[in-house]
Structure 1
Amino acid sequence: MDNLHIIGYLGVFVFAVIGVLKARTKRFDIFGAAVLAFVTAYGGGTIRDLLIGIKPVNWVNDNLAVFIVLLSTVITFFFKLNNTIIRKLIFWIDAFGIGLFTIVGIQTALKADVSQGYSLIMGIITATFGGLISDVLCNKVPNLLKPGELYATACIVGGSLYLLMINYHINTTTSMIVGILVTVVVRIFSIRRKLQLPRI
């Protein structure tokens, strides 16, 4: 298992946990929580694979992927937390998750011979569309569309830096780690400093 697979599975676990935490705020049962966990973890990657023609999509025939989602569902389901703590956890875990999935999405697209510009877009889709779909299922405005949320912007900054580093032939693992951390820092910093893009 290479570094990309390790980062990918870590991202799956992180986003599956977010899905279960979202389900808890809506008082879903454990089946509903598992469905939301799967959608959050694999929604973005599935859309990416369909757009760039990867067959079958990333989670088909991957028993470990399903196991990780179910494990994260069971573990998270039995932790009893109040809604304030859950909201904070969702924010911190989500910031880390978009960093992981931005890099996974970019690298997956590059391996499929997609140009660097469109690979960056695929990274953004991988990182954000699972959360978007799960928010819609929970009848919430997705973070991706909320004003004052530098969500996709954080992915663009971290993903662009990652592409720049690999263009300069910097070690792949180092480039991945830096790209992930920069995405996370931009996301957290933007919320702490209340940074936002201009409104229409």
Structure 2
Amino acid sequence: MVTIHMNFIDVILYIGIFVFGLTGALKARSSSMDIFGAFVMAFATAYGGGTVRDVLIGRYPIGWMNDYLAFLLIFLATFIAFLLKRNIRKFHRIFFLTDAIGLGLFTIGGIEISLDNHINNVYAVLMGVISSTFGGLVADIISNKTPSLLKKGELYATASAIGGTVYLSLNHLLPDPNIRMIICVALIVFIRYISKWKQINLPEI
């Protein structure tokens, strides 16, 4: 019998992998991709940011290379996206929510992994932003679109940076990482929704 031992960071990352995988697979529908294309988009969205982070901080082998469970989660996310194909209106709502949740979870996971690899707090937040946003950037490039991360629009990387900064700032006040995780994810989701509804964005150059 195989026993799986998971710590706090592992749980966060697996949840993030699933929700980002679902986001990527749903995004594939807007580009009229088949189910294989949806899997590729799910994989890129879930792993792109973490791969860039691991390369930058010298963490080898890259996290996903020996992780079979994560691959199963990507398959599951792709299958669920396939089942949701009939309800277009619900698709848009699910896409936005899962993307916001994944943004928060991957921000935290990227920060914690960076801290474990002796990266200072400032760059740990940066790695959290990269972990949570570069997967979408890679997926946009695959689908032949200008990366939404680089265009004027709703607060995205900014939401990740704010949430990550709050997560680290609460370290002494709230030692329990689970509580800080909930606060951070909720804050990032809140910023994403407010940015969308109130048309809040960064100024153009």
**Same-fold call, TM > 0.5?**
yes
Report what 1:14 is aligned to. 19
Q: 1:152 aligns with which of 150, 157, 160?
A: 157
- The residue number in structure 1 matching 2:129 is 124
Distance 1:170 1:189 in 2: 28
**Structure 1 gap segments, 5+ residues each:** none
Alpha-carbon RMSD: 1.4
In structure 2, distance between residues paired with 1:4 and 1:179: 14
Cα displacement (A) at 1:75 = 2.2
Which consecutive residues of structure 2, in runs of 5 or more, have no partner in the other structure?
1-5
Mean CA deviation greater in 110-119 or 176-185:
176-185
Q: Which runs of 4+ in 1 moved over 6 A?
A: none
Structure 1's 127 and 106: CA in aligned 2 closer, same or farther, altered over 3 A?
A: same
* Corresponding letter in the other structure for 1:115: N
CA contact (8 A) 1:16 1:38 kept: yes
The amino acid across from 2:45 in the alignment is: T
Of 91, 96, 100, 1:95 maps to: 100
Conserved 8 A contact 1:15-1:94: yes
Q: In the alignment, does 2:67 pair up with 1:62?
A: yes
Letter in 1 for 2:138: I
CA displacement at 1:125 relative to structure 2: 0.3
Change (3 A) 1:141 1:84: farther
Distance 1:93 1:125, change over 3 A: same
* TM-superposition CA deviations, 1:55-106 (whole Å, max 9, x none): 1011111110111111111222132235444333222211111011101100
The match for 1:112 is 117
1:192 aligns to 2:197 (yes or no) = yes
Match of 1:28, SS state, is coil
Tell me the TM-score normalised to structure 2 length: 0.92
Counterpart of 1:45, as a letter, is G
Q: Which residue of 2 aligns with 1:136?
A: 141
Matching residue's letter, 1:118: Y
Aligned residue pair count:
200
Q: Secondary structure at the match of 1:166?
A: coil
Contact 1:8 1:101 in 2 (8 A): yes
CA contact (8 A) 2:50 2:110 kept: yes
Between stretches 8-17 and 168-177, larger displacement belongs to 168-177
Task: Please name the residue that 1:183 is paired with.
Answer: 188
Which residue does 1:27 correspond to in 2? 32
Counterpart of 2:126, as a letter, is I
- Report the residue type matching 1:43 in the other structure: G
2:9 to 1, 4, 17: 4
- CA displacement at 1:143 relative to structure 2: 2.6
Q: How much does 1:170 deviate?
A: 2.6
CA contact (8 A) 1:143 1:151 kept: no
* Aligned-residue offset at 1:182: 0.8
